[in-house]
Amino acid sequence: MTDQPSRRRAGGREARRAAREEATTSSAPYLIRTIPPYEIMSEDGLEIIENNADIILEEVGIDFRDYPSSLELLKNAGATIDGERVRFPKGMCREIVTKSAPPSYIQHARNPSKNVQIGGDATVLVPAYGSPFVFDLDNGRRYANIEDFRNFVKLAYMSPHLHHSGGTVVEPVDIPVSKRHLDMVYSHLKYSDKPFMGSVTAAERAQDSVALAEMVFGDGFLNENTVMTSLINASSPMCWDASMLGAAEVYARSNQATVISPFIVAGAMSPVTVAGVAAQTLAEALAGMTFIQLVNPGAPTVFGSFAMSMSMQTGAPTFGTPEPALILYTMAALARRLGVPFRSGGNLCSSKIPDAQAASESISTFIPAILGGVNFMLHSAGWLEGGLAMGYEKFIIDADQCGLAASFVKGVDLSENGQALDAIKETGPGQHFLGSEHTLKNFETAFAVSEVANNDSYEQWSEEGSLDAAQRANTIWKKMLNDYEPPPLDEAIDEAMLDFIAKRKDELPDAFA
Amino acid sequence: MTDQPSRRRAGGREARRAAREEATTSSAPYLIRTIPPYEIMSEDGLEIIENNADIILEEVGIDFRDYPSSLELLKNAGATIDGERVRFPKGMCREIVTKSAPPSYIQHARNPSKNVQIGGDATVLVPAYGSPFVFDLDNGRRYANIEDFRNFVKLAYMSPHLHHSGGTVVEPVDIPVSKRHLDMVYSHLKYSDKPFMGSVTAAERAQDSVALAEMVFGDGFLNENTVMTSLINASSPMCWDASMLGAAEVYARSNQATVISPFIVAGAMSPVTVAGVAAQTLAEALAGMTFIQLVNPGAPTVFGSFAMSMSMQTGAPTFGTPEPALILYTMAALARRLGVPFRSGGNLCSSKIPDAQAASESISTFIPAILGGVNFMLHSAGWLEGGLAMGYEKFIIDADQCGLAASFVKGVDLSENGQALDAIKETGPGQHFLGSEHTLKNFETAFAVSEVANNDSYEQWSEEGSLDAAQRANTIWKKMLNDYEPPPLDEAIDEAMLDFIAKRKDELPDAFA
């Protein structure tokens, strides 16, 4: 017996349940924003852009290329078809999307404690996507391979700040294009238990992704539940291509989610102005989401926007500049008005290395994505060189920022403890708060901590080698990969997947383009 | 005669005046925000904090140390005095400040085209302040001297993205503390023509600052106009010290502006919670601003807030973390409700070098300061190592971000040209916009351009030496100092200042502490 009150003991099973629930709540596998979104534009301004999108859809039209069945579907729903050009009567797309696209959905992970909500007040942070190169401090820049792919799946699995395993975390260029989707999907399912993205480069690759997921989640699970959220890019301006439409159709029919995402270098694939990009993006996304809802009404779909500015000297896309941030805030508001989940942002940069440029540019996209209320944030970690390279150190630096954002989105605690008025009364003028009861009670959880930043004195930092952030990140990712242990996976399922992959690889031709 | 219509010719003097005004507007020497501020908290939440500040002012009180005349002044205005502890009846401070402190003011520069508005929708970007060290890539970290001081005055003068020459841009430690204010104020007036900050470390140094400014602006000018905005820090928690109060009184009596600025490491000088810091900051600032308004009703005064989080391991202040951003948004909203200009933010970091950590932390403070609607942004450029060092390369990197912010705060152009609907109609699906009339017309001004970022291909960047952002910035500041030419200054005024300084230096003792 001690004098200390055993507060936790009272209640027995009930108290343990409460404690468990508390723990579950505090470790939600995605961010829940309690802060309001930043609204950059008035309702009147947003209406102007919506009206312009309607005009684009009705007068200019959107091309659905090499995919005759989509034309038939859209025609039957009321659109006018002229060759491959589809024109939509005013309000048609908005009505179809509003009527049947869900405002949010759960994407199931193979570990149910890592299921994510996509939409509403949730923000899901997802690794970068699509780089053919990798970069690290030891080896510089080189083509990515399947080992790099697995490494980034493992790093995302181990990072508490990323909620998703992503999709094409790098392009494993050592495997034929025609087959690599099998290795990629397998890697997500084998080396991680977080939710992931399926292949989109052809309908049959989407079908393979569905088949592999069904082996892990069980027969019939996919009919009722979403286990993949996959990226369907437009061929801006105002085109949707057959390969992407084919994959999108497979996913929609299987109740799997698609991110319908115009991809725009402003000035090349759209007008150079923010309001112009916004109207065009909205029109393209509405047309794509309408297609999805016609294929399978109620299939989860995310409104995507990915917009870059451009260097006036070279025509190269630029990142972290003001215009993409303005576009992001605008598109996020338009998505809210439409009532669908929104994808944009990430830690984007054009820097080739994880230097001050990379960080400035990345945070200048990341903060707008957080404040804009992005629901599905692709490219949250790793992105370098305009997406051409995935950086090992950059991944660590970005994931660290994702961790800080998790505290930020909780907003200001206005509870009695948060107000801390008693602490101020007890301490008083000229006294320090370090030893006050309130400080001692709250100190451990008071401040979010960066795992990459060094806050030591100059002298101590010098003694320890004067390392910069990238060098510290280099140590961190190596330790993580060294410490990696795979999540449990039923051996029979693993074998079934490997058998399926072997069979499919036999069937498929080797093609590297 | 040409066929071209000479639109400008019609109107003669009137047209020239209009053209001049247009030019003036487009080159405003400070940012004018047309975007709304980000509101992180509901009105109800802000009222809770205001109420808590009132309770602190009424029940806890604020110490005015070693400055008996301030106690007399506050007592006569209705405060209760207990030793040096001042308690304010509920609402007293708010009433006095609201009644007489101006919502915004013009700070005159010796070059009138560089006058700045402080308050309202204006944001004035000001160099960092107070570092005893400097850092550059060539020499590393070393104590600052008067040559460094002059260098940063020159760099701020040359940067189109900074609106102000700042104050103690570095501490010139080669000059006695008792005399260095003379060299600092002289350097601002001699090597720049932008507005500047006066000395605050003692009343007589403030008086010397006023005397030097009067020589440049002319007798009597200061009675009617504000030419200095000077930084008056609280000794948080809840104390104001004699040296700062003395300087503040000199400035207020001379109609010069003061930034009344609680300076808080949360957990040490305040509670660890955001709402606790906010209430205490508001109380301290209200007490300080009340003193200013009692000294000289109507004297311009800025509500300042500078808050840091803390490393739980070492007790070191930390920057770019979520809590200071939450505090910044909260304080900015409270200042708006009070109706006075607001100071906070900057490009703050704890990194020792201009690396990814420095940039992440800096932008994580800078964006909240921009979106929060800060009016006077001290520490906009140069800050390293928690303010212990002023970085040459960091200055360039930060000033570059200031340039980008200038585009961002203009918000989204919803003019017909901005909407670009005709461009979309003319170009159509699958076509590129690079050659469209709209693109050609808008291309040069469409996108803000970073002067530090490298957007070249990896190959070209490698060929040019694989430089990082800091290395590119190193080249930029050296070129700027090399190209520097001083703004014209009347020789008689220069001589008068130098005579005054020589005389004062003879009178003053040598003291380095």
* Residue A199 at interface with chain B, using a CB cutoff of 8 Å: no
CA-based nearest residue in chain A for residue B133: A458
**pLDDT category of residue B27 using cuts at 50, 70 and 90:** low
Please tell me the distance from the alpha carbon of residue B225 to that of residue B492, in angstroms, as a whole number. 22
Residues of B in contact with A352 (CB under 8 A): 454, 458, 461, 466
A470's tokens: 């990238």
Record the tokens describing residue B406, joined without a space.
Answer: 């200038």
- Rounded to a whole number of angstroms, the distance from the CA of B247 to the nearest CA of chain A is 21
Q: Are the CB atoms for A236 and A264 separated by under 8 Å?
A: yes
List Cβ neighbours of B345 (8 Å cut-off, separation of 6 or more): B328, B365, B366, B368, B369, B370, B372, B374, B377, B378, B379, B380
CB of B73 within 8 A of CB of B245? no
Q: What is the total residue count of chain A?
A: 513
With a CB cutoff of 8 Å and minimum separation 6, the contacts of B416 are none
**Contact call for A276 and B431, based on CB within 8 A:** no
Q: What is the rounded end-to-end Cα distance, in angstroms, of chain B? A: 72
Give B239's contacts in chain A (Cβ within 8 Å).
429-430
In b/e form, how buried is each residue of B269-301, taking b as 16+ CB within 10 angstroms? Answer: bbbbbbbbbbbbbbbbbbbbbbbbbbbbeebbb
> DSSP code of A353?
S
Continuous H helices in A296-339:
322-338
Q: How far apart are CA A189 and CA A377, in angstroms?
A: 20
> Between chains, do A275 and B419 touch, taking CB under 8 Å as contact?
yes
- A440–chain B Cβ distance below 8 A for any pair: no
Supply the DSSP symbol for B59: I
Q: Which of the residues A396, A424, A431, A438 would you substitute to probe the B interface, choosing the one with the greatest number of B C-beta atoms within 10 Å?
A: A424
Please tell me the distance from the alpha carbon of residue A115 to that of residue A95, in angstroms, as a whole number.
30
Residue B19: band (very low, low, confident or very high) from pLDDT cuts 50, 70, 90: very low
Percent of chain B with pLDDT strictly greater than 70: 95
Is A356–B352 a contact, with Cβ atoms under 8 angstroms apart? Answer: no
Interface contact B276, partner A, CB < 8 A: yes
CB A429 within 8 A of CB B237: yes
Give the distance from residue A493's alpha carbon to the nearest chain B alpha carbon, in angstroms: 42
Of A371, A429, A436, the CB nearest to B62: A429
Tell me the nearest-neighbour CA distance from A59 into chain B, angstroms.
Answer: 8
- A38 and B38 within 8 Å at the Cβ level: the answer is yes
Side-chain half-sphere of A316: how many Cα atoms within 13 Å?
A: 21
Determine the pLDDT at residue B315. Answer: 86
Residues 352-371 of A with CB under 8 A from B: 352-364, 367, 371
- Check: CB of residue A453 under 8 Å from CB of residue A471: no
Whether pLDDT at B303 is above 90: yes
Supply the DSSP symbol for A321. S
A467 touches chain B (CB under 8 A): no
Is the Cβ pair B429, A385 closer than 8 Å?
A: no
In the structure encoding, which two tokens stand for residue B228, read together? 């200095």
> What is the C-alpha to C-alpha distance for residues B60 and B73, in angstroms, rounded to an integer?
19
Q: Search chain B and give the residue with CA nearest A372.
A: B38
Q: How far apart are CA B346 and CA B364, in angstroms?
A: 9
Contact: A59, B425; criterion CB under 8 Å: yes
Question: Residue B98 has what pLDDT?
Answer: 98
A123, A326, A419, A463, best to mutate vs chain B, most B CBs in 10 Å: A419
Contact B428 A454 (CB under 8 A): no
Q: Which of residues 174-193 of B touch A (CB under 8 A)?
A: none
Do the Cβ atoms of A424 and B271 come within 8 Å? Answer: yes
Note whether B31 contacts A: Cβ–Cβ < 8 A: no
Q: CB count, 10 Å around CB of B302?
A: 30
Q: Is residue B323 less than 8 Å (CB to CB) from chain A?
A: yes
| CA angle, A34 then A35 then A38, to 5° | 145
pLDDT in tens, B82-94: 999 999 999 999 9
Considering CB atoms only, which of B414, B455, B469 is closest to A311?
B455
Specify the 3-state DSSP secondary structure of B336: helix
- Is residue B468 within 8 angstroms of chain A, CB to CB? yes
- CB pair distance less than 8 Å for B453 and A355: no
Nearest to A240 by CA among A199, A274, A285: A285
Distance (Å, whole) CA A370 – CA A37: 8
**Number of A–B residue contacts, CB under 8 Å:** 413
Q: How close B267 gets to chain A, by Cα (Å)?
A: 6
Does A36 sit within 8 Å of B35, measured CB to CB?
Answer: no
Contact with chain A for residue B440, Cβ under 8 A: no
Stated length of chain B = 513
Cα–Cα distance, A328 to A40 (Å, whole number): 10
Helix (H, G, I), strand (E, B) or coil at A342: strand
Rounded Cα distance between B475 and B323, Å, is: 35
Interchain contact, B326 vs A271, CB within 8 Å: no
B81 at interface of A, judged by CB pairs closer than 8 A: no
Residue A169: Cβ within 10 Å count: 32
Helices (H), A380-483: 392-408, 416-419, 421-427, 437-446, 458-463, 469-483
At residue B303, the 3 state secondary structure works out as strand
pLDDT of amino acid A5: 36
User: CA angle B501-B504-B510, nearest 5°?
Assistant: 110
CB contact under 8 A, A270 and B330: no
Residue B511 in tokens = 């003291």
Tell me what pLDDT residue B2 has. Answer: 36
Burial of A229-244, coded b for 16+ CB within 10 Å and e otherwise, reads bbbbbbbbbbbbbbbb
Gyration radius (Cα) of chain A, Å = 24
DSSP states of A163-231: ----S-SS--TTS-HHHHHHHHHHHHHHH--S-B----SSHHHHHHHHHHHHHHH-TTHHHHSB-BEEE
**A271, B444: Cβ pair inside 8 Å?**
no
| Residue A390 contacts B where some CB pair is shorter than 8 Å | no
Contacts of A419 in chain B (CB under 8 A): 48-49, 52, 273, 275-276, 279
Strand ordering across the sheet containing A229-233 = A31-32, A122-125, A376-377, A342-343, A301-304, A257-261, A229-233
CB distance B446–A56 less than 8 Å? no
What single letter denotes the amino acid at residue B350?
A: S
Residue B312's pLDDT is what?
A: 76
Contact at 8 Å (CB) between A397 and A278? no
Other residues' Cβ atoms within 10 Å of the Cβ of residue A69: 13
Query: A132 CB near a chain B CB, below 8 Å?
Result: no
- For tokens 């589809």, name the residue: A86
Residue B274 to residue A412, Cβ atoms within 8 A: yes
Q: Phi and psi dihedrals of A287, rounded to 5?
A: -65, -45
Question: Helical H runs in A218-273?
Answer: 221-224, 242-253
Name chain A contacts of B455, Cβ cutoff 8 Å. 311, 314, 316-318, 350, 386
- Out of B48, B275, B321, the one facing A404 most closely (by C-beta) is B321
Instruction: Give SS3 for A319.
Output: coil
Confidence band for B444, pLDDT divided at 50, 70 and 90: confident
Cβ–Cβ gap B267/A60 under 8 Å: no
Q: Residues with Cβ < 8 Å from A136, sequence gap 6 or more?
A: A391, A392, A393, A474, A477
Contact B381, B347 (CB under 8 A): yes
* A263–B contact, CB cutoff 8 A: no
Q: Which of B85, B264, B272, B309 to mutate to test the interface with A (most CBs of A within 10 A)?
A: B272
* pLDDT averages per 10-residue partition of chain A, 513 residues: 36 43 57 97 98 98 98 98 98 98 98 98 98 98 98 98 98 97 98 98 97 97 97 98 98 98 96 98 98 98 97 88 98 98 97 98 98 98 98 98 98 98 96 94 92 96 98 98 98 98 96 74
Q: What is the pLDDT of residues B164-194, one digit of tens each?
A: 999 999 999 999 999 999 999 999 999 999 9
CA B453 to CA B461: how far, in whole Å?
Answer: 11
Least confident among A2-11, B387-396, B499-508: A2-11
Q: Does residue A353 contact residue A370 with C-beta atoms inside 8 Å?
A: no
Cβ-based contacts of B266 with chain A (< 8 Å) = 446-447
The pLDDT value recorded for residue B313 is 77
User: Which tokens in the block code for residue B203?
Assistant: 């009343």
d(CA B166, nearest CA chain A) in Å: 23
B276 with A430: Cβ contact below 8 A: no
Q: Which two tokens stand for residue A366?
A: 């990341």
Per-residue b or e along A426-444, where b marks 16 or more CB atoms closer than 10 Å to that residue's CB: ebebeeebbebebbeebbe
* Per-residue three-class SS string for A102-155: CCEEEECCCCHHHCEEEECCEEEECCCCCCCEEEECCCEEEECCHHHHHHHHHH
Bridge partners of residue B302, in order along the sequence: B259
Q: Is B82 left (phi over 0), alpha (psi -120 to 50) or beta?
A: beta
Give dist(CA A434, CA A441) in Å, integer. 11
Q: Is the pLDDT score of B21 beyond 50?
A: no
The residue among B410, B320, B356 whose CA lies nearest residue B123 is B410
Tell me the pLDDT tens digit for each residue of A266-281.
Answer: 999 999 999 999 999 9
Instruction: List, in sequence order, every residue forming a beta bridge with B308; answer none if it has no partner.
Output: B265
d(C-alpha A365, C-alpha A380), whole Å:
10
Closest CA to B78 of B286, B294, B237: B294
